[in-house]
């Protein structure tokens, strides 16, 4: 795929996702936005694939980058894909914006052999401080929105998501946690702003 | 493959190195390709044969040495081969001139663009108004039933004649989009990409219903004479009303409100039911203009071809067929004739077949007409989609 080089620095979560993906993989990026992650993966990992994005002008940006993208709602856009159509389904910063996150994740795990989920950790320490000491809903660097303009409709912590995976029988193959540009090694639920999980329901995958 | 050009196109000669511009867009012309002589008749989907056949076509830009830059444009119901540029001395350009030309969406500096009039039509290609060689009179209703697949079959002969193994792209809106989809179904190994705009993979009962009323209004005109009117004068009233119905479906509630609102026209004295509202006057005007340029029987044949169109299920992408073509599916939010939901159905079929697809629903108030009007969004999508398809 021919993808224009980007001048902007690569966000750290893009690098983490790229490390989780094997070369030449077939990917589906749900809520791909302007296609920066897909373009980066095509460049660094030689991936092929497809994005789904609901914003019309973001779709144009994807097409300008030579990417294939469907202008659709990710909550209704997965049904037609046959089981295991993709090596990886990516939900980077989009799961928390979806009402029916449970069903979406189940669908993602059906059409992808593995699923990569990147989400902001709502239990990160500065969010806790703001809530506890100021009695205000969190507005932080990783969560810059105020209650009235936030695209987020699901507020979860890393512990919440681990617990969810356990209850649903979803196997967590890898996790990576970020605070700014840096990897968080200990107490992620307190210190990490972003989490990236690699998941599967395929029993044959070994940790 | 036998065939002859009435006027051999210069553009078919391959130019290497510096691409000379042979056809200036300031002066394009229609050429004619004759084929399907008795021994090589065109086999129609109905089982009947048709021949000889003439296809009117135009080309813009230059075919490269590898013949890998050819884009076939398919026209809609009342369109023709004159997709772009100007005829000598004419003021009005081709029907998709805002999209085809140097630096435009279909960039004629990069691509060799072809457009031919469909068979069954009346714009230079063989149709019901053409002379039946067996009788020496116009075919009329003795013309065989035509389908979208037959239109594509005729185009395929033209593409063969140009020696083009694989088209870079087949593109079209409305009925043109159906032909583009049909190309992917009939000849998946011969198209690298498909652009289908404001169209459907399956003509719906609503669409068939409109076409039924359209046909009935032509046939209700006594001067139609069961299609045998060529010696007597055409059924202009019936065809004009048919076209008026069509124009209602091409607009949207919002675009009509914006264009006409409830504005009145001047009422002529003594004719109480002459159109009193501007919208009525507009429809009447469009209907009356249309009969000057279109054959009523051709309208019957082509609308019937639309109604037969059904590539639902596995017919678009055969489960065991070639599926490496890329698709771009474009729809418009206010199009209620070929609504976005039908484009979504196409996308669903492609996803199911694991075919590479890009889709976009453009926000527009122009209804079905949007595909001829909304240049900016379409240009961004088509130019970049074509470019990345060409570079693969």
C-alpha distances in angstroms, A158 versus A36, A92, A106, A167? Answer: 25, 15, 18, 14
Which residues does residue A182 pair with via DSSP β-bridges, in sequence order?
Answer: A179
Q: What is the pLDDT of residues B136-183, one digit of tens each?
A: 999 999 999 999 999 999 999 999 999 999 999 999 999 999 999 999
Task: State the CB neighbour count (10 A cutoff) for residue A71.
Answer: 29
List the single residue in A with minimal CA-CA distance to B377: A60
Q: What is the pLDDT of residues A139-165, one digit of tens each?
A: 988 889 999 999 999 999 999 999 999
Q: Are B363 and A56 in contact (CB under 8 A)?
A: yes
- Quote the percentage of chain B above a pLDDT of 90: 86
Query: Using CA atoms, how far apart are residues B114 and B84, in angstroms rounded to an integer?
Result: 10
Does B3 have pLDDT greater than 70?
A: no
- Quote the percentage of chain B above a pLDDT of 70: 93
Q: Is the Cα dihedral A182, A187, A190, A196 positive or negative? A: positive
Q: What is the overall mean pLDDT for chain B?
A: 92
Judged by CB atoms closer than 8 Å, whether chains meet at B361 and A71 is answered as: yes
Q: Does A83 touch chain B (CB under 8 A)?
A: no
Q: Are B95 and B83 in contact (CB under 8 A)?
A: yes
Domain A12-122+154-200: state its class.
alpha beta
Q: What is the pLDDT of residues A33-64, one digit of tens each?
A: 999 999 999 999 999 999 999 999 999 999 99
Q: What is the pLDDT of residues B21-50, one digit of tens each?
A: 445 688 899 999 999 988 889 999 999 999
If you compute the radius of gyration of chain B from its CA atoms, what whole number of angstroms results?
21
Task: State the CB neighbour count (10 A cutoff) for residue B162.
Answer: 19
Q: Does A81 touch chain B (CB under 8 A)?
A: yes
CA distance B79 to chain A (A): 28
Q: Does A135 touch chain B (CB under 8 A)?
A: no
Architecture of domain B4-202+311-391: 3-Layer(aba) Sandwich (3.40)
Q: What is the pLDDT of residues B311-334, one digit of tens each?
A: 999 899 987 777 889 999 999 999
| Chain A residues with CB-CB distance to B359 below 8 A | 69-72
What are the residue ranges spanned by the domains of chain A? Answer: 12-122+154-200
B335 labelled catalytic: yes
Q: Does B244 touch chain A (CB under 8 A)?
A: no
Tokens for B272, please give them: 């109480």
Task: Please tell me the predicted confidence (pLDDT) of residue B13.
Answer: 36
**CATH topology (fold) of B206-306:** Rna Polymerase Sigma Factor; Chain: A (1.10.1740)
DSSP string for residues in B160-218: HHTT-SSBSEEEEETHHHHHHHHHHHH-GGGBSEEEEES--SB--HHHHHHHHHHHHHH
At A76, the pLDDT band (50, 70, 90 cuts) reads confident
- Quote the percentage of chain A above a pLDDT of 70: 94
Question: What's the whole-number mean pLDDT along residues B266-286?
Answer: 85
Task: Please tell me the predicted confidence (pLDDT) of residue A203.
Answer: 77
| Chain B residues with CB-CB distance to A79 below 8 A | 348
Judged by CB atoms closer than 8 Å, whether chains meet at A2 and B344 is answered as: no
Task: Please tell me the predicted confidence (pLDDT) of residue A7.
Answer: 56
Judged by CB atoms closer than 8 Å, whether chains meet at B391 and A66 is answered as: yes
C-alpha distances in angstroms, B212 versus B75, B228, B320? Answer: 21, 20, 36
Query: Using CA atoms, how far apart are residues B3 and A200, in angstroms rounded to an integer?
Result: 59
What are the residue ranges spanned by the domains of chain B? Answer: 4-202+311-391, 206-306
B140: left (phi over 0), alpha (psi -120 to 50) or beta: left
Task: State the CB neighbour count (10 A cutoff) for residue B44.
Answer: 18
Query: Using CA atoms, how far apart are residues A81 and A89, in angstroms rounded to an integer?
Result: 12
Question: What's the whole-number mean pLDDT along residues A171-195?
Answer: 96
Query: Using CA atoms, how far apart are residues B378 and B384, in angstroms rounded to an integer?
Result: 10
Does B11 have pLDDT greater than 50?
A: no
In degrees and rounded to multiples of 5, residue B54 shows phi and psi of -115, 135
Burial class (CB in 10 A: 0-12, 13-18, 19+), B263: exposed
């Amino acid at each position: 795929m021919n993808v224009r080089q980007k001048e902007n620095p690569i966000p750290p979560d893009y690098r983490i996702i790229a490390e989780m993906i094997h070369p030449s993989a077939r990917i589906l990026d749900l809520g791909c936005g302007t296609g920066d992650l897909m373009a980066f993966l095509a460049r660094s990992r030689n991936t092929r694939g497809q994005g789904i994005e609901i914003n019309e002008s973001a779709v144009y940006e994807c097409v300008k980058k030579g990417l294939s993208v469907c202008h659709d709602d990710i909550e209704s856009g997965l049904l037609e894909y046959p089981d295991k159509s993709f090596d990886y389904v990516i939900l980077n910063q989009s799961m928390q914006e979806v009402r029916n996150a449970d069903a979406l994740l189940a669908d993602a795990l059906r059409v992808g052999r593995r699923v990569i989920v990147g989400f902001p950790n709502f239990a990160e320490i500065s969010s806790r401080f703001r809530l506890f000491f100021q009695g205000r809903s969190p507005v932080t660097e990783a969560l810059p929105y105020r209650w009235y303009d936030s695209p987020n409709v699901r507020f979860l912590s890393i512990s919440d998501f681990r617990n969810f995976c356990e209850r649903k029988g979803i196997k967590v193959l890898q996790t990576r946690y970020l605070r700014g540009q840096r990897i968080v090694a200990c107490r992620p639920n307190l210190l990490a702003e972003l989490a990236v999980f690699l998941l599967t329901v395929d029993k044959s995958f070994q940790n | 493959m036998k065939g002859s050009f009435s006027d051999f196109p210069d553009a078919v000669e391959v130019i290497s190195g510096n691409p000379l511009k042979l056809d200036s867009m300031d002066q394009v012309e229609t050429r004619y390709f004759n084929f399907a002589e008795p021994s090589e008749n065109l086999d129609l989907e109905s089982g009947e044969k048709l021949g000889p056949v003439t296809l009117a076509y135009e080309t813009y830009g230059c075919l490269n040495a590898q013949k890998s830059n050819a884009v076939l444009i398919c026209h809609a119901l009342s369109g023709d081969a004159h997709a772009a540029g100007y005829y000598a001395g004419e003021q009005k350009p081709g029907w998709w001139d805002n999209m085809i030309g140097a630096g435009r969406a279909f960039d004629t500096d990069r691509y060799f663009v072809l457009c031919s009039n469909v068979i069954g039509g009346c714009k230079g290609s063989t149709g019901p108004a053409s002379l039946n060689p067996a009788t020496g009179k116009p075919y009329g209703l003795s013309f065989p039933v035509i389908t979208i697949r037959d239109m594509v079959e005729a185009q395929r002969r033209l593409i063969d004649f140009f020696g083009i193994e694989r088209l870079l792209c087949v593109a079209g809106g409305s009925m043109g989009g159906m032909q583009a989809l049909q190309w992917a179904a009939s000849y998946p190994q011969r198209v690298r990409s498909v652009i289908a705009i404001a169209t459907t993979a399956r003509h719906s009962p609503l669409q068939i219903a409109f076409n039924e009323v359209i046909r009935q209004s032509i046939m209700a005109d006594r001067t139609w004479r069961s299609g045998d009117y060529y010696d007597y004068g055409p059924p202009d009233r019936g065809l004009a009303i048919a076209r008026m119905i069509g124009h209602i479906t091409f607009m949207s509630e919002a675009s009509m409100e914006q264009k006409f609102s409830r504005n009145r026209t001047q009422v002529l004295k003594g004719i109480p039911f002459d159109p009193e509202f501007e919208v009525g006057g507009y429809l009447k005007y469009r209907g009356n203009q249309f009969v000057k340029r279109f054959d009523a029987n051709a309208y019957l044949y082509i609308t019937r071809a639309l109604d037969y169109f059904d590539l639902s299920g596995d017919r678009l992408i055969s489960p065991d067929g070639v599926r490496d073509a890329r698709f771009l599916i474009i729809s418009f939010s206010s199009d209620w004739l070929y609504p976005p939901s039908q484009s979504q159905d196409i996308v669903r079929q492609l996803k199911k077949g694991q075919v590479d697809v890009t889709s976009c629903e453009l926000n527009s108030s122009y209804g079905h007409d949007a595909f001829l009007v909304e240049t900016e969004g379409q240009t961004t999508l088509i130019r970049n989609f074509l470019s990345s398809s060409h570079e693969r």
